[in-house]
Amino acid sequence: MRAMDRFTQDLIDSLTKLLSQPGQDTLTALQICAPVLITNLQAVKARAVDRREVEAQLDTALKDWLAKHPQPDEAQQALLEALHRDVLGREPDEIALKEASA
């Protein structure tokens, strides 16, 4: 699942590139760029969405829809698996573990 905008991706790429070249030049660049990086990281944090909240909302919405529009058990299971696998990016083993603990 990819939920990052271009700004966030560019910021991560820039930081990764900068930090992958340790040394005095990196420290100097970080000192110079720190105010801008802090501002940009704060903007990313302010716009970020907690994946757990989105996951719970999607799961609840799908279960509500299924309650109003009953489907065969196999179809319901397939829809829930598709949601978790294709939309939320979780593997079937992760889904089974979470549902077993619920």
Give tens-digit pLDDT for 4-39.
677 778 878 888 887 887 788 878 888 887 888 888
- First and final CA of the chain: distance in angstroms? 23
**Comparing C-alpha atoms, which of 15, 10, 48, 47 is closest to residue 33?**
15
Q: What is the model's pLDDT at position 102?
A: 52
- pLDDT digit string (tens) for 43-97? 877 777 777 777 788 888 888 988 898 888 898 888 888 877 877 776 655 544 4
Q: What is the model's pLDDT at position 3?
A: 54
Q: What is the model's pLDDT at position 97?
A: 47
Which residue shows structure tokens 């757990």? Answer: 52
Which residue shows structure tokens 């829930």? Answer: 80
